[in-house]
Amino acid sequence: MPITDLLRKNAELYGNDTALVEVNPEITEIRRITWKDYELIEPNPLCCYRREITWKVFDEKSNRFANMLLERGVKKGDKVGILLMNCLEWLPIYFGILKTGALAVPLNFRYASSEIQYCLDLAEVDVLVFGPEFIGRVEEIADEISRNRLLFYVGEGCPSFAEHYDSLVANCKSEDPMIALTDEDDAAIYFSSGTTGFPKAILHDHGSLVHSAVVEQKHHGQTRDDVFLCIPPLYHTGAKMHWFGSLLSGGKAVLLKGVKPKSILETVSNEGCTIVWLLVPWAQDILDAIDRGEINPDDYQLSQWRLMHIGAQPVPPSLIARWKKVFPEHLYDTNYGLSESIGPGCVHLGVENINKVGAIGKAGFGWEVKIADENGNTVERGEVGELYVKGPGVMKCYYHDEKATAETLKDGWLLTGDMAQEDEDGFIYLVDRKKDVIISGGENLYPVQIEDFIRAHPAVKDVAVIGLPDKRLGEIAAAIISIKEECTCTEEEINIFCQKLPRYKRPHKLIFADVPRNPTGKIEKPKLREMYCGESLVAAQIKN
C-alpha cells in the first residue's frame, strides 16, 4: 500500500487525537493563528510558542495542498521540492505532494543558492515550496529557477517572486483526491549528505517508505500512547523515518525547534515525551549541562521517558556509560542506515543488547546484511570488509546517474561504503567510511577507532581524525579536538593519554579546534581535509 494510506487510516480512526505539535522556545511573544484548522495553545512560561493539529486536520491540510497542486497542473510523476525548517506545515505538505502522485523532494536547509539550483535541476523539480529562512537564497536564483517552476512561499511576508501558500490553499477542497497509487510508484527523492562529494539524488518508491515505518515500529514498539520528540531536520530520512513509527501507530509527535539541553528536557517534561532520538553532540551537551549544574533532571517530569536512541553516526560507548549513570531507567538503542536504505533500521542494536554498546547491531527487521571483500565475497568473521545491505527499503536508483547506481547496487545488494567487522556473537561494528581509511606506512588506520578512544578523555567534547599527506609514510593521522567549555587540556595531556593506543594508531598531529558536523550529526571530514591538508600546522608531534 502507499504511505498515504497510513495517514488516511489515522484520520479515520483517531481523527480528534493530536498528531503533531510544534514547539519553538525561541519565540517569546504570543502569536494568534486565525486559520480555522489550527489550534494555538496559550504558551506557558516554559514552552513559549506551541501549535498543534489533530490527525483529521493533518489529513485535511494534506488534501487541500494536493488539490491546489492538481489545480495548478501538477500530475503524477512530477516533482515538488520542500525547502522548509521543521514546522507544523512540513508533513502535511509532504503528504499533500504524495497524494497527487507527485514525488516529494526535501532539500537540505544548509544548501547555498548554487546547491539549491543544482538539486532542483538534478531532480527535475517542477514546484518549490520554501520558507522565510530561505528568501535571500531563493531570491538569488529566482529569475533562473522560476522560468519553468512554480514557487510557493510558507510564512509571513511573501516575497514578490513567489505565491503565498496560505492564500492558495485556504479555499481548496479538503476532500481526498484519491489518486491511485501502488507500492511500486515513485514517492520521493532524497539527497545524499554530501560528506563524500556533491549530493546524489536518491529515488525511493512507496514500498520503501512503508517498509521503513514497519521497521521503526517493530524495533521500538511504538503505540498510540507513545509521544515521539523529533529534533533533527525533517528533510533527512533519519528524522522522518523515525517519525514513521508514530505514523504507523497513530501516536503524537512533537517537533522541537532548537537543541539546547534545557529546551529538550522542558519539552520532554511538558509534552510527556516517551521516545527521544538524539544525535551524539546533543546527548553530550545534556550531560555536560547537568555536570555543570546548569540543569537538574529532578526539576522536570521525565519518568515517562522510556527510550533514548541515537543514530546517524558512530556512538562512543563512553557516552552511553555516562548517560546510563544519569538516566539508569532509560532503554537505549541505536540504528544504522543510509538515505539509500530509506534511513535508519537496516542494522539495529536492540534495547536488549546494552552489553553490546559500540556495535551497530545485527540485520534489522526484514533486512539482510553481509561484510564483503572487494569482490563481494563474504569475509571471515572478525575481518574488516565493506558492509552490504539488502531489503525492501533499498533505493530504486540514483536518479539520472546510471554509473553511480551500477557502482552502488550489485545483485540486489546496496554497497554502503562503510567498513565493518562482525564479532563472535554476530554483532556488527563500524570501523570507518571506506574513503576515510588512512593508510600510514602500509598500515590501515580506521579513524572511528581512534576517535572513540580519544573521546573517552574527560576533557574532550568532540574529536575527528583525518589523514594528512606525509612524504615518508604517505599519510599520517591528525586529531582535531574540541575541548569542553569548562575544561582545560594541553597537548601533553592528550599525548600521554594516547600512549595507551598501539603505537601505529597514535595520531601524529593534534589540532585544538571545533569539529564541524552537518545537521544530522556527521563529521564533515571533506571540510576538515580542505582546511588542514597542505597547510603548515602548529600542532604537537607525538614521539613514536
Would you write out the chain's pLDDT as a tens digit for each of its 544 residues?
Answer: 899 999 999 999 999 999 999 999 877 544 444 444 444 444 444 445 899 999 999 999 999 999 999 999 999 999 999 999 999 999 999 999 999 999 999 998 888 898 899 999 999 999 999 999 999 999 999 999 998 899 999 999 999 999 999 999 999 999 999 999 999 999 999 998 654 457 899 999 999 999 999 999 999 999 999 999 999 899 988 888 899 999 999 999 999 998 899 999 999 999 999 999 998 888 988 999 999 999 999 999 999 999 999 876 667 788 899 999 999 999 999 998 889 999 889 999 999 999 999 899 999 999 999 999 989 999 999 998 999 999 999 999 999 999 999 999 999 999 998 889 999 999 999 886 667 778 676 567 778 788 888 988 989 999 999 888 876 677 788 999 999 888 889 999 999 999 888 787 889 999 999 998 876 677 888 788 888 875 433 333 333 3
Residues 348 and 472 both lie in one domain: no
Q: Is residue 483 part of a domain?
A: yes
Q: Is residue 470 part of a domain?
A: yes
Q: Is residue 404 part of a domain?
A: no
The secondary element (H helix, E strand) that includes residue 191 is strand 186-191
3-state helix, strand, coil in the chain (%, to 5): 35, 25, 40
Classify residue 495 by burial, with Cβ atoms within 10 Å: 0-12, 13-18, 19+.
middle
Q: Residue 35 sits in a domain of what CATH number?
A: 3.40.50.12780
Q: Is residue 533 part of a domain?
A: yes
Q: Is residue 416 part of a domain?
A: no
Residues 285 and 136 both lie in one domain: yes
Of the residues 329, 360, 391, the one at which a domain ends? 360
Q: What was the pLDDT predicted at 352?
A: 94
Q: What was the pLDDT predicted at 518?
A: 72
Q: Is residue 417 part of a domain?
A: no
Q: What was the pLDDT predicted at 471?
A: 66
Of the residues 360, 388, 412, the one at which a domain ends? 360
Residues 258 and 346 both lie in one domain: yes
Residues 234 and 145 both lie in one domain: yes
Residues 324 and 224 both lie in one domain: yes
Residues 2 and 151 both lie in one domain: yes
Domain count across the chain: 2
Q: Is residue 133 part of a domain?
A: yes
Residues 58 and 168 both lie in one domain: yes
Residues 19 and 131 both lie in one domain: yes
Q: Residue 489 sits in a domain of what CATH number?
A: 3.30.300.30
DSSP 478: E
Angstrom distance (rounded) from CA 113 to CA 141: 7
Picking from 148, 147, 142, the residue whose alpha carbon sits closest to that of residue 162 is: 142
Query: Roughly how many angstroms between the first and final C-alpha of the chain, as a whole number?
Result: 60
Of the residues 360, 394, 421, the one at which a domain ends? 360
Q: What was the pLDDT predicted at 371?
A: 96
Residues 82 and 196 both lie in one domain: yes
Q: What was the pLDDT predicted at 98?
A: 98
Q: Which domain holds residue 462?
A: 437-541
Residues 334 and 453 both lie in one domain: no
Q: What was the pLDDT predicted at 33?
A: 42
Residues 535 and 450 both lie in one domain: yes
Q: Is residue 488 part of a domain?
A: yes
Residues 312 and 444 both lie in one domain: no
Length of the chain: 544
